[in-house]
Amino acid sequence: MKKQIYKILFLAAIAGTLFSCEVEEFSDLNNPEVDAFGENLTRGDLQDLIGGVLYSSRTRLGTYFDDCGVIGREYWRFSSSDPRFTSDLLGGENAVLDNNTFYITGPWASRYRTVKNANLILGFLEGQDLSAQFSTAEISATRGFLKTFIAHELLLNLNLTDENGIRTDVADPNNLGPIVSKTQALADIRALLISGATDLNNGGAAFPFPLTSGFTNFDTPSSFAQANRALSARVAAYQGDMSAVLNFLGDSFLNLDSSDLNSGIYHTFSLDATGLPNPMFFPLNATTAGARIMVPEFLSEAEDGDNRLSKVVERDEEITLDGLTGNFDVFVYESQTDPIAIVRNEELILLYAEANISINPAEAINAINIVRDAAGLAPYAGGADSESLTDEMLTQRRYSLYAEGHRWIDVRRYGRLDELPLARPEDDVFSQFPIPLTEGN
């Protein structure tokens, strides 16, 4: 009964965060309901707890993507009830990024909540004899899955705060490690992914829990290890370690086949009572109460015939808010139940191209042409020098990964924030968010 009570609290508290900009803890970590899992973790318990991790990993995703998409000048987020989307995030006159406001406290706390949930489960796995319930391989597979998710969640927070760093040592909630530098954080995240891959490789034939349809073809320890390697390649690219990018991609699900760009792992959404709707969906021709409006340069700077421009749709009438006027809706996600990619093959092909720019430029061009061909474009006809290929690679990432949370990070890591368009004279481009006020030091 105690465990059942905790499960209810666990899920109810997560759901409660959907309706408030303030984020609260969901339970006392020392209470008897939590302790009960550490004394007798059953297969049913583990299935429910993994489900909780998957649930919390989807909360506040809309805010995270809006942070990246708005500052990265992919789109404007209109919200007539909250002007901070078009003032603070766009660096308007006298604007600053507040360290105690929903656009950083919300996604930050949600990602760490997922990390905390996953660390709790890891503690349950280590703190008792589970041989009657789980095989050694099943425990290893579970550890690998959880470590991969922890690493991914930490990376999302680091994407926001960048040089301000994050905490990576958070396994003991009563003795949190310090906020570490970006360099150290990336090293810690990469090490965690490598450890998770080792666990997955020792994880046998199956997980001891079901996964959502977002993990189709990646729902066994060995196949999910390929997703782990894909995320490792992303981290290595952020570190500028291009040889490692290629090594990780070699063990990932990279497929240099233009018909397979969307293979990968995804967050899934539903309108069920226990599900979540896709937070990135707005209907076409939405009002200023809530809309995502394409920044005009996305269209004006595109090549003719690029079929990725279907990710935006012309409105029946233009829309204006806070001195910003647009006439195209973002329509990457076409319903409340569309999935959102965690990592997919099109990104991997572009990571492969990026890594090869300095190692094998001809292979970089081959990879770029896979993406260009899928977009309905002619083969790349520019220079094979590093600067030209980097320009082209970033352009293809801009259009292939539109509204998927990459553009701001990409231009920042290449020192090109000053190339982002400004719609108003008083606007500016922020490079990072502050550490939330609640974190202290």
What's the burial of 330, exposed, middle or buried (CB within 10 Å: 0-12/13-18/19+)?
buried
Question: Which one has a higher pLDDT value, 21 or 192?
Answer: 192
Q: Is a pLDDT exceeding 70 seen at residue 20?
A: no
Reported as a single tens digit per residue, the pLDDT across 72-85 is: 999 999 999 999 99
pLDDT (0 to 100) of residue 62: 98
Reported as a single tens digit per residue, the pLDDT across 129-179 is: 999 999 999 999 999 999 999 999 999 999 999 999 999 999 998 899 999
What's the burial of 192, exposed, middle or buried (CB within 10 Å: 0-12/13-18/19+)?
buried
Average pLDDT, the chain: 92
Mean pLDDT calculated for residue range 419-439: 96
Which contacts of 322-328 are long-range, i.e. CB under 8 A and separated by 24 or more positions? 322/83, 322/86, 322/87, 322/92, 323/423, 323/424, 324/76, 324/78, 324/86, 324/293, 324/423, 324/424, 326/76, 326/293, 326/294, 326/295, 326/296, 328/293, 328/294, 328/296, 328/299
Residue 91 tokens read as: 């660096």
With cut-offs at 50, 70 and 90, classify the pLDDT of residue 210.
very high
pLDDT (0 to 100) of residue 332: 98
| % the chain with pLDDT above 90 | 87
Reported as a single tens digit per residue, the pLDDT across 211-223 is: 999 999 999 999 9
With cut-offs at 50, 70 and 90, classify the pLDDT of residue 33.
low
With cut-offs at 50, 70 and 90, classify the pLDDT of residue 89.
very high
Residue 385, SS3 per DSSP? coil
pLDDT (0 to 100) of residue 8: 44
Contact criterion met (CB below 8 Å) for 319 and 332: no
With cut-offs at 50, 70 and 90, classify the pLDDT of residue 258.
confident
pLDDT (0 to 100) of residue 257: 87
pLDDT (0 to 100) of residue 381: 97
**1-5, 41-45, 346-350, 373-377: which range is least confident on average?**
1-5
DSSP 318-331: EEEETTEEEEEEE-
Q: What pairs with residue 319 in β-bridges? A: 326
User: How far from 203 is each of 140, 224, 250, 323, CA to CA, in Å?
Assistant: 5, 10, 20, 55
User: 3-state secondary structure string, 150-189?
Assistant: HHHHHHHHHHHHHHHCEECCCCCCCCCCCEECHHHHHHHH
Residue 202 tokens read as: 């020792």
Q: Is a pLDDT exceeding 50 seen at residue 23?
A: no
